[in-house]
A and B are shown apart, each in its own frame.
Chain A
Amino acid sequence: GESVGLHLPTLSVQEGDNSIINCAYSNSASDYFIWYKQESGKGPQFIIDIRSNMDKRQGQRVTVLLNKTVKHLSLQIAATQPGDSAVYFCAEPTPNFNKFYFGSGTKLNVKP
Protein backbone atom coordinates (compact mmCIF):
# COMPACT_ATOMS: atom_id res chain seq x y z
CA GLY A 1 0.00 0.00 0.00
CA GLU A 2 0.89 3.64 0.03
CA SER A 3 3.46 4.95 2.44
CA VAL A 4 3.96 8.50 3.55
CA GLY A 5 6.20 9.68 6.34
CA LEU A 6 7.51 12.81 7.89
CA HIS A 7 11.12 13.74 8.48
CA LEU A 8 11.10 15.36 11.90
CA PRO A 9 8.87 14.66 14.89
CA THR A 10 9.30 18.17 16.30
CA LEU A 11 10.11 21.57 14.83
CA SER A 12 10.61 24.73 16.87
CA VAL A 13 10.51 28.14 15.21
CA GLN A 14 10.47 31.73 16.36
CA GLU A 15 7.25 33.67 15.90
CA GLY A 16 7.42 35.57 12.63
CA ASP A 17 9.87 33.17 10.98
CA ASN A 18 8.95 30.84 8.16
CA SER A 19 8.36 27.13 8.89
CA ILE A 20 9.08 24.23 6.59
CA ILE A 21 7.65 20.79 7.32
CA ASN A 22 8.74 17.90 5.16
CA CYS A 23 7.18 14.65 4.04
CA ALA A 24 8.43 11.78 1.89
CA TYR A 25 6.43 9.20 0.00
CA SER A 26 7.35 5.90 -1.58
CA ASN A 27 4.97 5.36 -4.49
CA SER A 28 6.10 7.17 -7.64
CA ALA A 29 2.56 6.78 -9.05
CA SER A 30 1.04 8.76 -6.18
CA ASP A 31 -1.29 11.37 -7.59
CA TYR A 32 -2.62 13.48 -4.78
CA PHE A 33 -1.49 14.67 -1.36
CA ILE A 34 -3.11 16.53 1.49
CA TRP A 35 -1.74 18.40 4.47
CA TYR A 36 -3.68 18.33 7.74
CA LYS A 37 -3.29 20.40 10.90
CA GLN A 38 -4.19 18.97 14.27
CA GLU A 39 -4.46 21.28 17.24
CA SER A 40 -4.22 19.90 20.74
CA GLY A 41 -7.35 18.00 21.76
CA LYS A 42 -8.95 18.20 18.32
CA GLY A 43 -9.24 16.12 15.20
CA PRO A 44 -7.10 16.86 12.11
CA GLN A 45 -8.31 19.59 9.75
CA PHE A 46 -7.60 20.03 6.05
CA ILE A 47 -5.09 22.76 5.18
CA ILE A 48 -4.15 22.39 1.54
CA ASP A 49 -3.83 19.76 -1.16
CA ILE A 50 -1.79 19.25 -4.31
CA ARG A 51 -2.05 17.02 -7.35
CA SER A 52 0.94 15.42 -9.01
CA ASN A 53 0.55 17.59 -12.12
CA MET A 54 1.56 20.58 -10.02
CA ASP A 55 4.88 21.52 -8.41
CA LYS A 56 3.54 24.21 -6.16
CA ARG A 57 0.28 25.35 -4.69
CA GLN A 58 -0.32 28.38 -2.52
CA GLY A 59 -2.95 29.16 0.04
CA GLN A 60 -3.24 31.80 2.68
CA ARG A 61 0.24 31.93 4.30
CA VAL A 62 0.83 28.29 3.32
CA THR A 63 2.57 26.82 0.29
CA VAL A 64 2.98 23.18 -0.61
CA LEU A 65 5.85 22.11 -2.84
CA LEU A 66 5.98 18.76 -4.58
CA ASN A 67 9.21 17.27 -5.91
CA LYS A 68 8.27 14.14 -7.81
CA THR A 69 11.87 13.34 -8.72
CA VAL A 70 12.81 12.65 -5.12
CA LYS A 71 9.26 11.85 -3.94
CA HIS A 72 9.18 14.64 -1.42
CA LEU A 73 6.69 17.30 -0.47
CA SER A 74 6.91 20.18 1.93
CA LEU A 75 4.55 22.53 3.69
CA GLN A 76 5.79 26.08 4.12
CA ILE A 77 4.13 28.43 6.56
CA ALA A 78 5.00 32.09 6.19
CA ALA A 79 5.33 34.40 9.19
CA THR A 80 4.55 31.65 11.67
CA GLN A 81 2.14 32.64 14.42
CA PRO A 82 1.40 31.13 17.83
CA GLY A 83 -1.88 29.81 16.41
CA ASP A 84 0.12 27.68 14.00
CA SER A 85 1.36 25.52 16.87
CA ALA A 86 -0.03 22.06 16.09
CA VAL A 87 0.86 18.69 14.66
CA TYR A 88 1.01 18.61 10.86
CA PHE A 89 0.38 15.48 8.83
CA CYS A 90 0.79 14.70 5.19
CA ALA A 91 -1.71 12.22 3.82
CA GLU A 92 -2.25 10.30 0.63
CA PRO A 93 -5.54 8.76 -0.49
CA THR A 94 -5.91 5.62 -2.51
CA PRO A 95 -6.75 6.32 -6.19
CA ASN A 96 -10.47 5.85 -5.55
CA PHE A 97 -10.31 7.97 -2.36
CA ASN A 98 -11.68 5.09 -0.31
CA LYS A 99 -8.81 5.11 2.15
CA PHE A 100 -6.27 7.65 3.32
CA TYR A 101 -2.76 6.97 4.60
CA PHE A 102 -1.21 9.38 7.07
CA GLY A 103 2.38 10.18 7.98
CA SER A 104 3.46 10.13 11.61
CA GLY A 105 3.25 13.90 12.02
CA THR A 106 5.53 16.84 12.87
CA LYS A 107 4.79 18.88 15.96
CA LEU A 108 5.36 22.57 15.31
CA ASN A 109 6.23 24.67 18.34
CA VAL A 110 6.13 28.43 17.88
CA LYS A 111 8.27 30.37 20.34
CA PRO A 112 7.13 33.92 21.23
Chain B
Amino acid sequence: GQQVMQIPQYQHVQEGEDFTTYCNSSTTLSNIQWYKQRPGGHPVFLIQLVKSGEVKKQKRLTFQFGEAKKNSSLHITATQTTDVGTYFCAFPGGGSQGNLIFGKGTKLSVKP
Protein backbone atom coordinates (compact mmCIF):
# COMPACT_ATOMS: atom_id res chain seq x y z
CA GLY B 1 0.00 0.00 0.00
CA GLN B 2 0.91 3.63 -0.10
CA GLN B 3 3.50 4.69 2.41
CA VAL B 4 4.91 8.04 3.31
CA MET B 5 7.93 8.69 5.48
CA GLN B 6 8.13 11.96 7.34
CA ILE B 7 11.48 13.10 8.74
CA PRO B 8 12.81 14.05 11.14
CA GLN B 9 10.60 12.73 13.92
CA TYR B 10 11.79 15.46 16.30
CA GLN B 11 13.59 18.76 15.82
CA HIS B 12 14.84 21.06 18.54
CA VAL B 13 15.94 24.51 17.41
CA GLN B 14 17.01 27.78 18.94
CA GLU B 15 14.60 30.61 18.29
CA GLY B 16 15.61 32.32 15.08
CA GLU B 17 17.01 29.18 13.45
CA ASP B 18 15.40 27.65 10.39
CA PHE B 19 13.47 24.37 10.36
CA THR B 20 12.57 21.92 7.61
CA THR B 21 10.45 18.77 7.62
CA TYR B 22 10.22 16.36 4.70
CA CYS B 23 7.66 13.88 3.44
CA ASN B 24 8.75 11.17 1.04
CA SER B 25 6.36 8.81 -0.72
CA SER B 26 6.99 5.50 -2.45
CA THR B 27 4.37 6.38 -5.08
CA THR B 28 3.32 9.46 -7.04
CA LEU B 29 0.85 11.61 -5.11
CA SER B 30 -2.10 13.45 -6.63
CA ASN B 31 -1.75 16.14 -4.00
CA ILE B 32 -0.38 16.68 -0.51
CA GLN B 33 -1.69 18.60 2.46
CA TRP B 34 0.12 19.97 5.51
CA TYR B 35 -1.33 20.35 8.99
CA LYS B 36 -0.05 21.82 12.26
CA GLN B 37 -1.04 20.59 15.71
CA ARG B 38 -0.18 22.72 18.72
CA PRO B 39 0.49 20.88 22.01
CA GLY B 40 -2.85 19.81 23.47
CA GLY B 41 -4.69 21.02 20.38
CA HIS B 42 -6.18 19.60 17.25
CA PRO B 43 -4.68 19.48 13.74
CA VAL B 44 -5.21 22.62 11.70
CA PHE B 45 -4.94 22.73 7.92
CA LEU B 46 -2.07 24.81 6.55
CA ILE B 47 -1.99 24.24 2.80
CA GLN B 48 -2.60 21.91 -0.12
CA LEU B 49 -0.14 21.41 -2.99
CA VAL B 50 -1.34 19.95 -6.27
CA LYS B 51 1.04 20.80 -9.11
CA SER B 52 4.41 19.26 -9.85
CA GLY B 53 7.18 21.55 -8.59
CA GLU B 54 4.71 23.84 -6.83
CA VAL B 55 6.05 26.28 -4.25
CA LYS B 56 3.77 28.23 -1.94
CA LYS B 57 4.60 30.69 0.81
CA GLN B 58 2.74 31.76 3.91
CA LYS B 59 4.76 34.45 5.67
CA ARG B 60 7.78 32.56 7.09
CA LEU B 61 6.54 29.15 5.87
CA THR B 62 7.53 27.78 2.46
CA PHE B 63 5.93 24.64 1.07
CA GLN B 64 7.29 22.67 -1.88
CA PHE B 65 5.98 19.76 -3.91
CA GLY B 66 8.60 17.78 -5.79
CA GLU B 67 8.81 17.61 -9.56
CA ALA B 68 7.97 13.91 -9.48
CA LYS B 69 5.18 14.52 -6.93
CA LYS B 70 6.74 11.97 -4.59
CA ASN B 71 8.09 14.32 -1.96
CA SER B 72 7.25 17.53 -0.23
CA SER B 73 8.82 19.84 2.30
CA LEU B 74 7.82 22.53 4.76
CA HIS B 75 10.46 25.11 5.63
CA ILE B 76 10.13 27.68 8.40
CA THR B 77 12.49 30.65 8.32
CA ALA B 78 13.61 32.19 11.60
CA THR B 79 11.50 30.08 13.94
CA GLN B 80 9.52 31.65 16.73
CA THR B 81 8.12 30.09 19.89
CA THR B 82 4.68 30.25 18.29
CA ASP B 83 5.87 27.69 15.72
CA VAL B 84 6.04 24.98 18.39
CA GLY B 85 3.93 21.94 17.55
CA THR B 86 3.78 18.87 15.37
CA TYR B 87 3.65 19.21 11.60
CA PHE B 88 1.94 16.48 9.59
CA CYS B 89 1.81 15.83 5.88
CA ALA B 90 -1.22 14.01 4.48
CA PHE B 91 -2.23 12.65 1.10
CA PRO B 92 -5.28 10.91 -0.37
CA GLY B 93 -5.73 7.18 0.12
CA GLY B 94 -5.62 5.14 -3.06
CA GLY B 95 -8.38 4.48 -5.56
CA SER B 96 -11.88 5.65 -4.72
CA GLN B 97 -11.25 5.80 -1.00
CA GLY B 98 -12.20 9.06 0.64
CA ASN B 99 -9.60 9.09 3.36
CA LEU B 100 -6.33 10.93 3.89
CA ILE B 101 -3.21 9.12 5.01
CA PHE B 102 -1.21 11.10 7.55
CA GLY B 103 2.52 10.97 8.06
CA LYS B 104 3.77 10.35 11.60
CA GLY B 105 4.61 14.02 12.01
CA THR B 106 7.62 16.09 12.97
CA LYS B 107 7.55 17.54 16.46
CA LEU B 108 9.19 20.95 16.62
CA SER B 109 10.37 22.52 19.84
CA VAL B 110 11.81 26.03 19.93
CA LYS B 111 14.11 27.24 22.66
CA PRO B 112 13.76 30.96 23.37
- A and B held together in a complex: no
B residues neighboring A (CB under 8 Å): none
A residues neighboring B (CB under 8 Å): none
